[in-house]
Amino acid sequence: MAATVATKPGKGRRKTAEDGTRPVSAKLSWRIRLRRDKSLILMTLPAVVLLLVFNYAPLFGLVTAFQYYDPLVGVWHSSWAGLDQFRMLFQDPLFWGALRNTLFLSLVQLVLFFPIPVVLALLLNTVMNERLRNFVQSVVYLPHFFSWVLTVTIFQQMLGGAGVLNQFLRQHNVGTWDFMTNPHTFALLITSQAVWKEAGWGIIVFLAALAAIDNNLYEASAVDGAGRWRRMWHITLPGLRGVIVLMLVLRLGNALTVGFEQFLIQRNAVGHSAADVLDTFSFYYGIATNNYSYGAAAGLFKSVISLLLILGANKLAHAFGEDGLYRK
Amino acid sequence: MSMATTLRLRRNPAAAAPTRAPWEEPPTAIGQAGKGVVLTVVIAAVLVPLWVVVLTSLSTTGAIGRAGGLVIWPDGLTLDAYRQMLTNDQVTRALVVSLLVTLVGTLVSMVVSVLCAYGLSRSRSMGHRIILMVLILTMFVSGGLIPTYLVVTGLGGYGQYWALILPSAVSVFNILVLRSFYSSTSAELIDAAKMDGAGDWRTLWSVVLPTSKAVTAVITLFYAVGYWNSFFNVMLYMPVDSSKWPLQYVLLEYVQQGMNMPGSVNNGFGTGHAQTAPLSLQMAVVVLTLVPILMVYPFMQKHFRTGVLTGAVKG
């Protein structure tokens, strides 16, 4: 570091990535550094203010979880509840139902959703024709940009009671099958909607990882007599390992987040016992019933467990020798 | 990027033929057929529903009646549904609301994000580590739904349009993507600008922004799509006043109606249930929410890799 400074004497007043090494900065008084960087700091201000108001202030709002919050008197004057809200929460069968649904849906999505983008990417990677490949990519990325309202509407028009599938079944006098309102197959419905909307977009990351694999590895192993499947097993899959672990870590860290709008839209159709998840719980039993403290307690429970999951998942990734979400 | 370059290099039709490395086995017939089937199914799964929706929105009442609901083959086309839709106050007002929220929201988000990203992109500037921590911490901890709701309503946001924009205006993820691009803007270029006497604002505007058009385009698209598609904040902050609803929420109302009365859309076409909109009108509203996305999609698509990958790999 010191050597770099010595080879680069005064290079103008302003410090940039090139010349401003830390020892120099440390020597400058904060007054000079502030004058030098004041525009940069000013630029970050709008974003920081918005985050302070809409992300950090709500963190303090979490005290409502320990209160009997009354909107008429506000946070400052509501009476304290201690852990009463949590006690009630843990005795509430509706809460356990929502937690069970969340975990179950998360598991189903992990098993049925997660492999699809990987397989699609592998498949697409073997398509030699660039034009076809680009066409497939443009088509499968598209639903990512649709709203959940639109996605659910489309599913309803295809598979709902009056949808295309049931039109066909009715015209051929086979019994109808209403996928959209059946609470028993709701997990499948939710997952297939998620696959339809997001699986295509999910392949982008894997395609990039595939493109980064050194072609010489394939050539060398082919020359050594490895067939197409052996090459996939010994070169392609190890090449994807890092990304797959990263995606698994993200999924695991978000195990309590299974989608929100999707459930709001379809709750009426399948009933609350199938469609309540932790996220919607806060909405229906907190905001919709003016029972704010109760909803906040449920939200806090979810936040804490989620944070633990994210940190735990990262530990796991590091144990596998991968970077995970952050390094070290 | 490499894929796009290869494509451009292969403009020559003779060279467009698939190139297979000499060491690679020729494809098996079964393998090719299997691949073809899977890809066809995948593409059909996306395109067929869109086709049916668009076609039904363009179909005559007679065609819908003969089809027994949604129309799969063209059989009598008309623009009636669209005419009806554009004279429907609820829909036209919602369209204007959606467009304005998307426009203003995207503008606010982009200005805030670009400034913040550039402000944090010059390494060793004062305080950038702390500010970066402030940003990143929000990705790990959040107050959750209810405290956020209390803050927004406490600031008087109930029933206000700003409540649809400001609480979600900053995406830390997007800022990090932009920042990693700006950080990699060549230091010589910035030094040159500084030598010419440009301040940080001037440098951002005339050097950094023009050299990062692709990522700016992608992030703009991400924000715009987010605003266009959002409906939950409407449910939270303005569920009562239907004159302020954006398009997605109006569509949701149509969906909910259909869901509450299963089968009513089937034979009814508005005759059985007065409040159920005719099928073609419903589908026209669906198409209306789709159109803006389909319009910008082709222009943006080539940049997706840039945007997503920086976020996923570098960020």
* B69 and B117 share one domain: no
- The Cβ of residue B90 has, within 10 Å, a number of other Cβ atoms equal to 15
Asked if B16's CB is within 8 angstroms of A131's CB, the reply is: yes
Amino acid occupying residue A108: V
Chosen from A31, A157, A173, A214 to mutate, greatest number of chain B CBs within 10 A: A157
* A112 and A251 share one domain: yes
* B254 and B161 share one domain: yes
Please say which residue of A80, A108, A136 terminates a domain: A80
A39 Cα to chain B: minimum distance (Å): 6
DSSP string, A122-159: HHHHT---HHHHHHHHHHHHGGGGS-HHHHHHHHHHHH
- The Cβ of residue A212 has, within 10 Å, a number of other Cβ atoms equal to 13
Name the domain count of chain A.
Answer: 2
**Domain assignment of residue B162, yes or no:** yes
* A72 and A97 share one domain: no
Asked if A40's CB is within 8 angstroms of B297's CB, the reply is: no
Residue A160, φ and ψ in degrees, nearest 5:
-70, 180
Of B42, B175, B256, the CB nearest to A268: B256
The confidence score (pLDDT) of residue B260 equals 37
Which domain, by its residues, includes B55?
Answer: 28-80
Q: Is A59 on the interface with B (CB under 8 A)?
A: yes
Of A127, A147, A310, the CB nearest to B231: A147
Please say which residue of B43, B61, B80 terminates a domain: B80
**Domain assignment of residue A30, yes or no:** yes
CATH number of the domain residue A237 falls in: 1.10.3720.10
Mean pLDDT of B210-219: 87
* A71 and A142 share one domain: no
B143: chain A residues, CB-CB within 8 Å: 55, 57-62, 299, 303
CA angle B33, B35, B36 (to 5 degrees): 65
* B245 and B285 share one domain: yes
Asked if B150's CB is within 8 angstroms of A292's CB, the reply is: yes
- The pLDDT tens digits for B242-288 are 888 999 988 887 756 654 333 333 333 333 333 456 788 888 889 99
* A93 and A72 share one domain: no
| Mean of all residue pLDDT scores within chain B | 80
Whether the per-residue pLDDT at B8 is higher than 60: the answer is: no
Residue positions counted in chain A? 328
Give SS3 for A226: coil
Q: What is the ipTM of this complex?
A: 0.82
Asked if B255 and B261 touch (Cβ cutoff 8 Å), the reply is no
* B72 and B106 share one domain: no
Helices (H), chain A: 2-7, 22-27, 30-51, 57-61, 74-77, 84-90, 93-112, 115-125, 130-141, 148-159, 164-171, 186-194, 200-211, 215-223, 228-231, 237-253, 261-270, 272-275, 278-282, 292-319
B307: confidence class by pLDDT, cuts 50, 70, 90:
low
* B71 and B101 share one domain: no
* A26 and A97 share one domain: no
Asked if A47's CB is within 8 angstroms of B113's CB, the reply is: yes
Asked if B283's CB is within 8 angstroms of A265's CB, the reply is: no
Only one residue has tokens 């201690």, namely A82
**Domain assignment of residue A206, yes or no:** yes
* B212 and B260 share one domain: yes
The confidence score (pLDDT) of residue B315 equals 36
- The Cβ of residue A112 has, within 10 Å, a number of other Cβ atoms equal to 15
- Cα B293 to Cα B78: distance, rounded to the nearest angstrom: 23
Amino acid occupying residue B273: H
Asked if A129's CB is within 8 angstroms of B18's CB, the reply is: yes
Of A17, A266, A302, the CB nearest to B144: A302
Between residues 95 and 134 of chain B, which touch chain A (CB distance below 8 Å)?
111-113, 115-116, 118-120, 122-128, 131, 134
* B207 and B60 share one domain: no
- The Cβ of residue A183 has, within 10 Å, a number of other Cβ atoms equal to 14
**Domain assignment of residue A327, yes or no:** no
* A99 and A30 share one domain: no
The confidence score (pLDDT) of residue B15 equals 41
3-state secondary structure chain B: CHHHHHHHHCCCCCCCCCCCCCCCCCCCHHHHHHHHHHHHHHHHHHHHHHHHHHHHHCECHHHHHHHCCCCCCCCCECCHHHHHHHCCHHHHHHHHHHHHHHHHHHHHHHHHHHHHHHHHHCCCCCCHHHHHHHHHHHHHCCCCHHHHHHHHHHCCCCCCCHHHHHHHCCCHHHHHHHHHHHHCCCHHHHHHHHHCCCCHHHHHHHHHCHHHHHHHHHHHHHHHHHHHHCCHHHHHHCCCCHHHCCHHHHHHHHHHHHHHCCCHHHHHCCCCCCCCCCHHHHHHHHHHHHHHHHHHHHHHHHHHHHHHHHHHHHC
* A121 and A16 share one domain: no
Tell me how far CA of residue B68 lies from CA of A275, B51, B74, B264, in angstroms. 30, 17, 14, 12
- Cα A164 to Cα B73: distance, rounded to the nearest angstrom: 12
* A94 and A9 share one domain: no
Burial-class residue B297 by CB neighbours within 10 Å (0-12, 13-18, 19+).
middle
Closest residue in B to A71 (Cα–Cα): B150
* A69 and A115 share one domain: no
Between residues 78 and 117 of chain A, which touch chain B (CB distance below 8 Å)?
none
Only one residue has tokens 């990143």, namely B136
The confidence score (pLDDT) of residue B161 equals 92
Closest residue in B to A294 (Cα–Cα): B146
Asked if B115 and A46 touch (Cβ cutoff 8 Å), the reply is yes
**Domain assignment of residue B177, yes or no:** yes
Asked if A14's CB is within 8 angstroms of B120's CB, the reply is: no
Asked if A165 and A154 touch (Cβ cutoff 8 Å), the reply is no
* A49 and A167 share one domain: no
Amino acid occupying residue B165: I
**Domain assignment of residue A60, yes or no:** yes
Whether the per-residue pLDDT at B13 is higher than 70: the answer is: no
Q: Is A49 on the interface with B (CB under 8 A)?
A: no
B310: confidence class by pLDDT, cuts 50, 70, 90:
low
Asked if A149 and B231 touch (Cβ cutoff 8 Å), the reply is yes
Residue A101, φ and ψ in degrees, nearest 5:
-60, -45
* B63 and B196 share one domain: no
Asked if A164 and A85 touch (Cβ cutoff 8 Å), the reply is no
**Domain assignment of residue A18, yes or no:** yes
Name the domain count of chain B.
Answer: 2
**Domain assignment of residue B7, yes or no:** no
Both tokens of residue B225? 């799509």
* B200 and B58 share one domain: no
Give how far the C-alpha of residue A281 lies from the chain's centroid of Cα atoms, to the nearest Å: 19
Which domain, by its residues, includes A135?
Answer: 84-319
By mean pLDDT, which of B54-58, B169-173, B197-201 is the weakest?
A: B197-201
A42: chain B residues, CB-CB within 8 Å: 119
- Cα B65 to Cα A233: distance, rounded to the nearest angstrom: 54
Whether the per-residue pLDDT at B48 is higher than 90: the answer is: yes
* B72 and B183 share one domain: no
B308: confidence class by pLDDT, cuts 50, 70, 90:
low
A157: chain B residues, CB-CB within 8 Å: 49, 52-53, 56, 70, 283
**Domain assignment of residue A153, yes or no:** yes
**Domain assignment of residue A110, yes or no:** yes
Burial-class residue A32 by CB neighbours within 10 Å (0-12, 13-18, 19+).
middle
Please say which residue of B59, B80, B101 terminates a domain: B80
Chains A, B: CB pairs < 8 Å? 331
* A229 and A178 share one domain: yes
**Domain assignment of residue B23, yes or no:** no
The DSSP letter of residue A81 is -
Please say which residue of A34, A62, A80 terminates a domain: A80
Between residues 147 and 186 of chain A, which touch chain B (CB distance below 8 Å)?
147-150, 152-154, 156-158, 160-164, 167, 170-171, 178, 180-181
* B113 and B165 share one domain: yes
Asked if B111's CB is within 8 angstroms of A46's CB, the reply is: yes
The confidence score (pLDDT) of residue B267 equals 35
* A124 and A139 share one domain: yes
* B124 and B59 share one domain: no
- Cα A109 to Cα A256: distance, rounded to the nearest angstrom: 12
A25: chain B residues, CB-CB within 8 Å: 124
**Domain assignment of residue B204, yes or no:** yes
Please say which residue of A49, A80, A111 terminates a domain: A80
Q: Is B213 on the interface with A (CB under 8 A)?
A: no
Only one residue has tokens 């906040």, namely A296
Residue ranges in chain A modelled with pLDDT below 70: 1-27, 324-328
Nearest to B311 by CA among B179, B208, B187, B212: B179
**Domain assignment of residue A66, yes or no:** yes
Nearest to A60 by CA among A52, A68, A48: A52
Chosen from B3, B25, B46, B208 to mutate, greatest number of chain A CBs within 10 A: B46
CATH number of the domain residue B153 falls in: 1.10.3720.10
